[in-house]
Amino acid sequence: MADYEETKINQEAHLLLDQPLLRLPYELLRKNLRNARFQADKDATFVKNLLKETATGSLNAKTSPEDVVKNLDVMITRMRGLKRKLSACADEEDRLYRHLEARVAHLSELSTMHTVEDVKYEAWSRKRLDRLMVDYLLRHGYNASATALAEDRGIQELVDIDTFVAMSNIRNSLLNGSFTEALAWCTDNKKALREMKSKLEFMLRCQQFIEMMRTDSPARMNEAIAHAKRFIIPFNDTYQSEVSQVAALLAYRPDTTMEPYASWYSPKRWALLADIFTEAHNQLLGLPTFPLLHIALSSGLSALKTPACHSTHGPSSSQPFPNFTGISANLCPICSTELNELARGIPYAQHSRSYVDSDLLMLPNGRVYGKARLQEYASKAGLGEDQVKDLVTSEIFPTDKLRRVYIT
Amino acid sequence: MEKPTAMESIQAEMADVVKMPRISTSLAHVDGIIQLLSEAKEKIAATLDPHTASLTMTKLQNPAKVAFDTIIGDDFKKATAAHKKLGKALDKHFPPKPLPSEHDAMANHQDQINRAIAMHFLREGQFNVASTFIDEAQEMKARNSRYSASSVSDSYSLDSSEAMDEDQPEEASPTMTATSAGQHTSEMEGLSSLQSQELQNKFSEMYNILQELRARNLLPAIEWARVNAAELEARGSNLEFELIKYQYIWLFKGPAVNGLPDDENNGQAAALRYARNNFGRFQARHLRELDRLAGAMAYAPNIPDSPYRQDFAIENAFSTVATSFTREFCSLLGLSAESPLYIAATAGTLALPQLVKYIAKTRSRGTEWTSANELPFETPLPRRMMYHSIFVCPVLKGQTTETNPPVILPCGHVLAQETLHNLLKGQRFKCPYCPSEAQMKDTRLIIL
């Protein structure tokens, strides 16, 4: 098959977009274990210390047996708490392993296919599109749609609904003017955020300060100053100019029109915070900065696009029509209304070889078609053998007015 | 035996990893500590004797320490080992490769993508998913317009790393709000056109007909083709005739094959009646074929051995006719037969390796691949993903475009218009491919 090179599946290169499919659960596994370990360390230290203290106190007769029992109760409660937390981590780990197994199995299916013409490939590729769409929907916060699609297709284990729903909850809380959830997330991921040099916590602390300033009451002002000393000044080395701007806010009322202070007071900052959070979140979990579907589409639209797709006169080859020489019988996806506007601004594919129907003939109106197409269309239109009909304009011409076209 | 693919190797590793100890092993040890503590507590509480208390507490220290050490030093270590094994397998067989991350050509087109996705759901027959999505997208837009800046989140997060370094978000936001406002109108049009139900009804009609075709009932498709006969004919489509022809054959085959009730509306007599009522309109255009179909009657008892066996072998007819039905239905709506989103995403993954390679090579130069007219690299696709003629001028080595169209010379050779201008000497030029000479006035533009 001449087409072999173009249809062969390059196993490794074909899975470029699928990296996060395995990377994300892997990162979550590690994060989950770190969390389990952190909880266990904390509770173990507490219980061990209390155990030691109680034993010593009991030995020295400083702690009465009643108090020993009380302390033991405290320890038991603490351990039960730890068990609850570890059970949750264990469940999460099991879930992530299940996801990983399902995903590896799904990706491995591709190994049994060698070309994109394989009948199994279409089903696989459709499943991939479903995954990409769920990813897109989740990233834009269309959580109900993402869930509905995943359920409809039975691909819950191949998509990361929980992760993104948790993310969009925090994002929405920011958009609604609450930083509690985002700050809690910062605390949970303190170390990783510091390693990434994320600005998120600093920005949240600034916003906290601004909200205190906004109330314009002297008591809150003092509180704001205390807050700034504790949470903002420590960032002075890293974000010097912002710190001084924020400090200067003390001299400006919330309704100031003076820049940059007016911007700091602007309610639009919440949207900015939401975006900074999203970015930190995605970076932390190794997720691409924009939806995978965007990557697939911009690459795919370009690869499919030809100069003809947005031409004004309607190319002759745009007419969907069964034919014998190769050019697809279907309407071009770029010309189809769904994608036409979307593809307008992007480059068209590069070709180094002409690709046309065989036996090209030119009609008197300048339009060129393959002989076989013209013949079939003429016979479907009920014309005799001495006439042809233009596939686009429907004009009818006698065959002796046709001219051969040579494409070198 | 073929070498296992990377993913098969990961699958093999994975099979081992899932059998390794997990966090759950620590739960038994936590239980053990709870039990130790509870037993000690009961013992002490039973007597409340100081001596028993201190003795029990002293004796408790060591086993408790051992149990804690097991959890932290042992259980978690083993769980970590499983993760490490998995991580190693991923790094070895599926090493991270950078994806295009600097420029998102799709960033400002959320509404158009939303629309394409909604239409994809509709054409796939996922009507519930589609309506969930259309509702949710509308709702979110209403909500987003309240936080004016948030609807630009995408365009922001795109280059937010730079913006953060420079820290000029407040300068950036006014321009962004402007773009988002401009987008808003098209956004509204985009999805509300889908909400109008019209398209949804169309696709649901298509789905019902396809389902009937799958169940080997041609009648709803025939009815649709009859209603749209004029448009189908203008497209040169024979769908109605094909359908009617198959219905004739289907009836002809009788109850043993078609499973329809064995009455006067089935079998050869019914087929003949059907032919008389329906073939008339097609007589002019499909005379020869109709002759054959009628002629077959003479061989009725033994079609498989007759010259007509080809015409009557319609095992694959239902799926073929379903495909052409879908194609005609969609193209009357101005849509391609296969989901463009599916084709584009598939083509995208096929072309992506070239894009990634190109970006890696040009990263240092900071070239933006999306800004040119033509991709700076080739992205070969399978033939069935080529929908238009491509003409590459053999002299210019580039594709012709609307501003540089193909031109035919009197000798029949085709060149790009620019090439012709370059070849021109006075009013005349010589064809680079044959000895003939011509004048500019003898050439003409062609439309491929």
Q: Residue B119: which domain range?
A: 110-148
| Residue B442: predicted pLDDT | 87
| Residue B427: predicted pLDDT | 82
Q: Which of A334, A341, A325, A330 is nearest to A303 (CA)?
A: A334
| Residue B1: predicted pLDDT | 54
> Which strands form A360-362's sheet, in the order they lie side by side?
A368-370, A360-362, A403-404
Stronger pLDDT, A5 or B242, i.e. the higher one: B242
Q: Say if CB B442 and CB B411 are below 8 A apart.
A: no
In this structure, the answer to whether residues B321 and B353 fall within a common structural domain is no
B405 vs B414: CA distance, rounded Å: 10
A303 residue type, one letter: A
A295 vs A122: CA distance, rounded Å: 20
B159 vs B101: CA distance, rounded Å: 10
| Residue A262: predicted pLDDT | 79
Residue A165 CB neighbours (<10 A): 15
**Dihedral angle sign, alpha carbons of residues A354, A355, A356, A358:** positive
Q: Does B163 touch chain A (CB under 8 A)?
A: no
* A residues 331-390 closer than 8 Å to B (CB): 331-339, 341-342, 345-357, 362, 366-368, 377, 380-382, 389
B130 vs B139: CA distance, rounded Å: 14
Tokens 């014309």 appear where?
Answer: A383
User: What are φ and ψ of residue B407, in 5° steps?
Assistant: -130, 135
When the pLDDT of each residue in chain A is averaged and rounded to a whole number, the result is 87
* Residues near A194 by beta carbon (within 8 Å), at least 6 away in sequence: none
* A residues 54-93 closer than 8 Å to B (CB): 54-55, 58-59, 61, 64-66, 68-69, 72-73, 75-76, 79-80, 82-83, 86-87, 89-90, 93
Q: Does B166 touch chain A (CB under 8 A)?
A: no
Quick one: tokens of A102?
């399902």
H or E element at residue A179: none
Q: Which of B445, B448, B402, B390 is nearest to B420 (CA)?
A: B445
* Residues near A58 by beta carbon (within 8 Å), at least 6 away in sequence: A65, A68, B50, B53, B54, B57
* B residues 404-443 closer than 8 Å to A (CB): 408, 411-414, 433
H or E element at residue A362: strand A360-362
In this structure, the answer to whether residues B285 and B300 fall within a common structural domain is yes
In this structure, the answer to whether residues B364 and B410 fall within a common structural domain is no
Q: Is the pLDDT confidence value at A330 over 70? A: no
A63 vs A48: CA distance, rounded Å: 17
Q: Does B367 touch chain A (CB under 8 A)?
A: no
Greatest CA span in chain B, whole angstroms? 122
Report H helices in B94-218: 110-123, 127-144, 153-158, 160-166, 169-195, 198-214
Mutate to test the interface with A, among B346, B415, B433 (most CBs of A within 10 A): B346
Q: How many CB pairs under 8 A join A and B?
A: 529
In this structure, the answer to whether residues B324 and B209 fall within a common structural domain is yes
B400 vs B322: CA distance, rounded Å: 37
Quick one: tokens of A316?
């002759």
| Residue A314: predicted pLDDT | 60
Q: Which of A83, A101, A304 sits opposite B18 (nearest CB)?
A: A101
A247 vs A259: CA distance, rounded Å: 14
Please check whether residue B169 lies inside any domain of the structure. Answer: no
Q: Is the pLDDT confidence value at A326 over 60? A: no
The partner residues of B428 in beta bridges, in order of sequence, read B425, B439
Distances (CA, A) of A328 to A350, B318, B374, B386: 18, 21, 22, 6
Between chains, do B22 and A293 touch, taking CB under 8 Å as contact?
no
| Residue B330: predicted pLDDT | 84
| Residue B146: predicted pLDDT | 64
Instruction: Spell out which residues of chain B touch residue A94, defining contact as CB-CB under 8 Å.
Output: 22, 24
Q: Does B396 touch chain A (CB under 8 A)?
A: no
- DSSP states of A105-117 as a string? HHHHHGGG--BTT
B307 vs B295: CA distance, rounded Å: 10
Q: How far does A397 lie from chain B, in Å, by closest CA? A: 16
Q: Which of B34, B48, B355 sits opposite A299 (nearest CB)?
A: B355
B27 vs A80: CA distance, rounded Å: 10
Mean pLDDT for A187-196 is: 88
* Residues near B49 by beta carbon (within 8 Å), at least 6 away in sequence: A65
In this structure, the answer to whether residues B73 and B46 fall within a common structural domain is yes
CA distance between the termini of chain B: 48
* Residues near A223 by beta carbon (within 8 Å), at least 6 away in sequence: A212
Q: How many domains does chain B have?
A: 5
Residue B103 CB neighbours (<10 A): 15
| Residue B272: predicted pLDDT | 86
Beta pairing class for A396-398 and A387-389: antiparallel
B238 residue type, one letter: N
Q: Does A208 touch chain B (CB under 8 A)?
A: no
Distances (CA, A) of A408 to A405, B398, B405, B412, B445: 10, 13, 16, 10, 17
The residues of chain B scoring below 70 in pLDDT are 1, 146-196, 363-371
Between chains, do B18 and A381 touch, taking CB under 8 Å as contact?
no
At B294-340, the pLDDT tens digits run 777 777 777 777 777 777 777 778 888 888 888 888 888 877 778 89
Task: Spell out where A181-253 has E strands.
Answer: none
- Centroid of chain to Cα A303: 22
Instruction: Spell out which residues of chain A touch residue B147, defining contact as CB-CB under 8 Å.
Output: 175, 267-268, 270-271
Q: Does A112 touch chain B (CB under 8 A)?
A: no
Q: What is the DSSP letter of B364?
A: G
Q: Is the pLDDT confidence value at A284 over 70? A: yes
Q: Which of B213, B307, B381 is nearest to A116 (CA)?
A: B381
In this structure, the answer to whether residues B216 and B307 fall within a common structural domain is yes
Between chains, do B344 and A354 touch, taking CB under 8 Å as contact?
no
In this structure, the answer to whether residues B138 and B79 fall within a common structural domain is no
Beta pairing class for B406-408 and A387-389: unpaired
Q: Does B52 touch chain A (CB under 8 A)?
A: yes
A270 vs A291: CA distance, rounded Å: 22
In this structure, the answer to whether residues B21 and B116 fall within a common structural domain is no
Q: Does A102 touch chain B (CB under 8 A)?
A: no
A388 vs A8: CA distance, rounded Å: 39
In this structure, the answer to whether residues B300 and B394 fall within a common structural domain is no
Between chains, do B48 and A108 touch, taking CB under 8 Å as contact?
no
At A211-247, the pLDDT tens digits run 888 877 777 888 888 888 888 888 888 888 888 888 8
Interface confidence, given as ipTM, is 0.87
H or E element at residue A115: none
User: What are φ and ψ of residue B70, in 5° steps?
Assistant: -65, -45
Please check whether residue B188 lies inside any domain of the structure. Answer: no
B130 residue type, one letter: A
Q: Does A145 touch chain B (CB under 8 A)?
A: yes
Q: Does B447 touch chain A (CB under 8 A)?
A: yes
In this structure, the answer to whether residues B230 and B133 fall within a common structural domain is no
Between chains, do B64 and A51 touch, taking CB under 8 Å as contact?
yes
The partner residues of B416 in beta bridges, in order of sequence, read B406
Q: Is the pLDDT confidence value at A394 over 60? A: yes
Please check whether residue B157 lies inside any domain of the structure. Answer: no
Mean pLDDT for A328-353 is: 83
At A6-21, the pLDDT tens digits run 788 888 889 999 999 9
Residue of A nearest to B344 (CA): A300
Please check whether residue B382 lies inside any domain of the structure. Answer: no
